């Protein structure tokens, strides 16, 4: 083994704790009994009544912070290239013409499409293996952080960076360092205060416990209370399966799980950023229970970071040349491909010769893209008939939560196309190790 490979393995085992996070070997820090009648309320009428509480592994959070630092270092280096060869030429062209220009010059596009974007796509496959990163949730979050720069490079090339981001290299570095939406004004990144730090910390801790409890509950059902008759591959999709009551319940439960998961890590990132004195946009805005329409769900509430870079990096460039519907479809396809790529990073073999830990899992490629195409059609229908009197009456007279659940139901029949790979693999089992967990003894 070469010295460079030895260094990567040392970092993986000692700073990223790949061996520790490979399997859950926690022991209960306390035990308790739950009455069998209470268990029956949740449909858990098998097994014993004694349970244990597992404390979260601090190594999980240290590894996550280390991966974010590594990602921020890489994106900072690439962002310097973006600023020098893409942002500055655009600003100089803007100064000469005296107005905003959509043309960055051929060199900018060659740098962006030919160097920056390919690096963002390919590099995670190498450093995940080089640093022996095995935890699938760590891979997932690291991949999201890395590919964020892919779309922000597009924002820079087409001139859709947020206001004041291109004012200085410092602003651009802050903007691209983490997969977050930083608030800027004419003075730079908006500053946080002690109240924000306290609020973000309290919310993060609260959601850590909420997520741990919810994961513990779903784990008892193997994350899907009702059997899923579909196979894992794209060709195994059966359209009618998504309309069965069992699959709809499975889908809403896992959708809520993803909302809590992303909200938890969103507050964690907000807390880290606020400690650094930086103010961020909200990450999630309770989409499942407070949305008023499909476009409100996807455009103003669900994962505002992904929405932000897809809107500026894909939707706006396409919308400048084509119709709103065409831009929406292209954006949803880009989102599908983005999530397909994440699957390829998360489930790539970690060792030589295709070895996986603990087992290999082959994702059903194409299902994510099909899911987002489904939602593009839903958005198209909203554009066409969303203003009808019937829908206006529903929004005006039904409670917000009921309206929001009806909105979420437009995606539910196809939701398992997206969540299937995460539910069937050990993705959530890798996640549990970082959270307080209740297990049956």
State pLDDT tens for residues 20-51: 888 888 899 999 887 777 777 766 666 667 88
Domain of 153, in residue numbers: 1-21+57-181
15 token code pair: 């700073």
In this predicted structure, what is the pLDDT of residue 204? 96
Dihedral angle computed from the Cα positions of residues 159, 162, 168 and 170, in that order, rounded to the nearest 10 degrees: -130
In a domain, 210, yes or no: no
Whole-model pTM: value is: 0.91
In a domain, 437, yes or no: no
Q: What percent of the chain has pLDDT over 70?
A: 92
In a domain, 32, yes or no: no
Q: For 239, what's the count of Cα atoms within 13 Å in the CB-facing half-sphere?
A: 2
352-378 pLDDT, tens digit per residue, is 555 565 567 888 899 999 999 999 999
Give how many domains the chain has, as a whole number: 1
Q: Parallel, antiparallel, or unpaired: how do β-strands 437-440 and 50-54 relate?
A: antiparallel
Distances in Å between the Cα of 350 and the Cα atoms of 67, 129, 299, 409, 416 are 16, 5, 35, 37, 26
Place 106 in a pLDDT band, splitting at 50, 70 and 90.
Answer: confident
In a domain, 43, yes or no: no
Place 2 in a pLDDT band, splitting at 50, 70 and 90.
Answer: low
280-316 pLDDT, tens digit per residue, is 988 999 999 999 889 899 989 999 999 999 999 999 9
In a domain, 380, yes or no: no
In a domain, 160, yes or no: yes
Q: d(Cα 150, Cα 20) in Å, to the nearest integer?
A: 31
Sign for the pseudo-dihedral over CA of 261, 349, 429, 423? positive
In a domain, 105, yes or no: yes
Average pLDDT, the chain: 88
């Amino acid at each position: 083994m070469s010295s460079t490979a030895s260094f990567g393995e040392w970092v993986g085992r000692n700073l990223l704790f790949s061996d520790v996070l490979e399997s859950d070997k926690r022991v209960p820090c306390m035990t308790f009994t739950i009455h069998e009648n209470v268990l029956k309320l949740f449909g858990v009428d098998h097994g014993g009544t004694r349970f244990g509480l597992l404390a979260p592994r601090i190594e999980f959070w240290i590894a996550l912070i280390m991966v974010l630092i590594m990602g921020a270092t890489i994106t900072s280096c690439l962002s310097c290239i973006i600023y020098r060869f893409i942002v500055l030429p655009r600003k100089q062209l803007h100064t000469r013409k005296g107005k905003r220009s959509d043309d960055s010059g051929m060199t900018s596009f060659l740098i962006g499409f030919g160097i920056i974007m390919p690096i963002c796509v390919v590099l995670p496959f190498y450093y995940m293996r080089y640093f022996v990163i095995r935890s699938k949730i760590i891979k997932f979050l690291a991949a999201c952080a890395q590919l964020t720069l892919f779309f922000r490079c597009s924002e820079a090339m087409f001139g859709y960076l947020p206001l004041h981001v291109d004012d200085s290299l410092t602003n651009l570095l802050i903007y691209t360092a983490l997969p977050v939406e930083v608030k800027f004004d004419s003075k730079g990144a908006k500053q946080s205060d002690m109240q924000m730090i306290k609020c973000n910390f309290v919310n993060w801790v609260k959601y850590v416990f909420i997520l741990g409890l919810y994961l513990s509950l779903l784990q008892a059902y193997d994350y899907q209370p009702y059997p899923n008759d579909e196979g894992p591959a794209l060709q195994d999709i059966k359209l009618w399966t998504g309309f069965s009551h069992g699959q709809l319940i499975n889908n809403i439960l896992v959708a809520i799980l993803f909302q809590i998961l992303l909200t938890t890590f969103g507050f964690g990132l907000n807390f880290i950023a606020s400690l650094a004195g930086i103010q961020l946009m909200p990450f999630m805005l309770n989409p499942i229970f407070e949305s008023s329409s499909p476009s409100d769900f996807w455009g103003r509430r669900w994962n505002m970071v992904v929405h932000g870079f897809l809107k500026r990096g894909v939707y706006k460039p396409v919308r400048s040349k084509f119709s709103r519907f065409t831009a929406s479809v292209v954006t949803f396809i880009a989102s599908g491909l983005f999530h397909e790529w994440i699957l390829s990073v998360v489930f790539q073999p970690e060792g030589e010769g295709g070895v996986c830990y603990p087992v290999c899992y082959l994702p059903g490629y194409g299902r994510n893209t099909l899911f987002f195409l489904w939602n593009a059609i839903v958005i198209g229908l909203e554009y066409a008939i969303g203003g009808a009197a019937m829908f206006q009456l529903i929004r005006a007279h039904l409670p917000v939560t009921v309206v929001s659940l009806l909105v979420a139901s437009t995606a539910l029949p196809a939701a398992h196309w997206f969540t299937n790979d995460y539910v069937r693999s050990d993705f959530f089992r890798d996640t549990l190790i970082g959270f307080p967990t209740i297990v049956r003894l």
